[in-house]
Structure formats: structure tokens, C-alpha cells
Amino acid sequence: MERDAKIFVAGHRGLVGSAIERNLISRGFRRIVTRTRSQLDLRDGHAVAEFFRQERFDYVFLAAAKVGGIAANRDSPGEFIRDNLCIQTNVVDAAYRTLVKRLLFLGSSCIYPKLAPQPLKEEYLLTGELEPTNEAYAIAKIAGIKMCQAYNRQFGTSFLSAMPTNLYGPHDNFDPHTSHVLPALIRKMHEAKEQSSPFVEVWGSGRPRREFLHADDLADACVHLMESYPEDDIVNIGMGEDLTIRELAELVKAVVGYSGELRFNPDMPDGTPRKLLDCSRMERLGWRAKISLRDGLAGTYRWFLENIAAKSEERRILS
């Protein structure tokens, strides 16, 4: 990408978009355009088309999406499939119509079949049934992948799709009702520590295995792909190693400094038994993750204390 290129980062306030914006700035890109949801609702096709027509971008990172954990996906599947289909359809089509050079679409590792062989290779897509707890979200993401590839074939665009594993880091969603497992554990254990609670409940059996990637590593991989990957085959981005939810909970407990008991609730859903990505395609392109899970967790917890916990305490004092 040319350093004077005009770049749109969709979803710049979220976990992934904010990391991509930081990475681009660190590399010397200065013509970065962003919009908040109140300024531009990406679900509004007319507004998105007019925005792209006026701005005329060179590159687009599509990191905007409606995301959430098991509970959110279970309770609002209609919103997950509707909002994500609208966002990606509007942005991808507008990019094509305004001659954007390259667009990178962010998918998710949940696109792969629930019982696919491990580690998950890109060619396993659409070879089996999806995990029911996030089926609506996964179908929307699969549609986004196929839309990018279809536009490339019919219209000669250069759109690509990256499939990150489970993500975490600054600007994550720590809401107790809609967050993913890692930020949920951080918040639960922090509040239990502050309130001297004797135990913290963890959903599920603790046996499922998950892989976690820091958002700053993902952002670095996305920019690397945008500059060096000429194909439109999907690309996995991950750490290449996983751990059980029980091991994750113990690690979060140590980082937060919580001394109570962990109680696993097997009546709550576990989700996919294992989800580890095969990242050999990304490694052949010369990229590997650099941030260890322990170091990344420590930094994420510091950000949580400075931005989430501090604001909660401020609101408590003011009330």
C-alpha cells in the first residue's frame, strides 16, 4: 500500500478496527478515514454508497460487525445474521462501485464445521454442520467470504478474507451479558476480587479448547496480507496453539490476582469442543504472532483497569 493511500477502517472503535488503525499509524499511513456508528450506519445501503462515492478510498479494512459470545448469539440470532449481512453487503458493493483497489474482509474461525478435524484448515469450509450456538453469525460471515470471491470472479475486484481465531485486547467488549469468554472472565474475576467473593462461576465444563490471538497481532497480520497476498483464498490467522477453558480461567485468575474458587457450570453450553486454526498458509507468507497469551492478558487487564473499571468506579461515586 502506498503511504499516501486513502484508507477506510470500518469499525475503528472496536477491538479489531482500533488495532488496525494503530498499526497503520505506526507504519506511517496518515490518510486514514473513520466514522462512528452515529456518523454512518453501515446497515444503511444508501448512506454507505454516498459515503464511498464522496470519499473515493484506495483501500478498505472491513472490521465492523455485530459480535458477541454464546449468550448473545443464542438470544439474538436474527439480529446477528441481519446486521452482519447488511454491513458487509453494503461495504463490499460500495467498494466495487467506487473502484477500491483492495478490500480486506474480517471473518471468524466459527465459519468452520463444529466437528471438523483439528487444526482447522482453510479447505474445511462448508464440509460439515456449523456449531448451533453461533450458526446465524457464521452463515453471515460465510456469505461475506463468498461475496468477496464472487465479485473478484465477475467484476475483477481484489477483495480478500482473513479468518482470525478468538481475539482479545484493548477496546474489547467487557459487558457481562454480551462479551466473549476471555473479557467476561476478566470482568468476573476483577469484580469478585473487589467484592471478596468466595467463588466465580464459569460457564460450561471447562473442557473445550480455544486459541486466543491478541488484536494487535491480528492487525499486523491484516496489513501484511493487504500488502503481500495476491490471492482471494481465505487465510487463517492465529497463534497455532490452544488451551482448555479451565486453563484459561486459571491464567486469568492469576493475572487478575483473584484468590477465590472457580466453579464450572456444566448446565451451560460448551460450544464447539475444539477450535484451533492451521496457520501454515500465513506462516508461508512470512508472518507469525508475537504476543504471548500471558503478556497479552496482563496488558488487556491494565487497559480494563484504566478504562472500564475506572469509569465504573467514577459512575458509582457520582451516583
Annotated binding residue 76 = no
Annotated binding residue 188 = yes
Annotated binding residue 17 = yes
C-alpha separations of 301 from 74, 155, 216, 220 in Å = 27, 45, 15, 21
Annotated binding residue 18 = no
Annotated binding residue 259 = no
Annotated binding residue 42 = no
d(CA 264, CA 200): 8
Whether 151 is a known active-site residue: answer no
Annotated binding residue 40 = no
The alpha carbon torsion through 22, 81, 73, 298 (nearest 10 deg) reads: -10
Annotated binding residue 109 = yes
3-state DSSP assignment of residue 67: coil
Annotated binding residue 38 = no
Q: Which long-range contacts (CB under 8 A, 24 or more apart) does 252-256 make?
A: 252/182, 252/185, 252/186, 252/189, 252/297, 253/189, 253/200, 255/186, 255/294, 255/297, 255/298, 255/301, 256/186, 256/189, 256/190, 256/193, 256/301
Annotated binding residue 11 = yes
Q: CA torsion sign, 253 to 257 to 262 to 267?
A: negative
Annotated binding residue 141 = yes
Annotated binding residue 169 = no
DSSP-assigned states of every residue in 105-124: EE--GGGS-TT--SSBPGGG
Annotated binding residue 167 = yes
Contact by Cβ (8 Å): 191, 176: no
Annotated binding residue 158 = no
Could you give the maximum distance between any two Cα atoms of the chain, in Å?
60
d(CA 145, CA 106): 9
- Active-site residue, selected from the candidate residues 96, 137, 151, 229: 137
Active site (catalytic) residues: 137
Extract the annotated binding site for NADP(+).
Answer: 11-17, 106-109, 141, 164-167, 180
Known binding residues are 11-17, 106-109, 141, 164-167, 180, 188, 203, 210, 270
Going by the annotation, the residues of the binding site for substrate are 188, 203, 210, 270
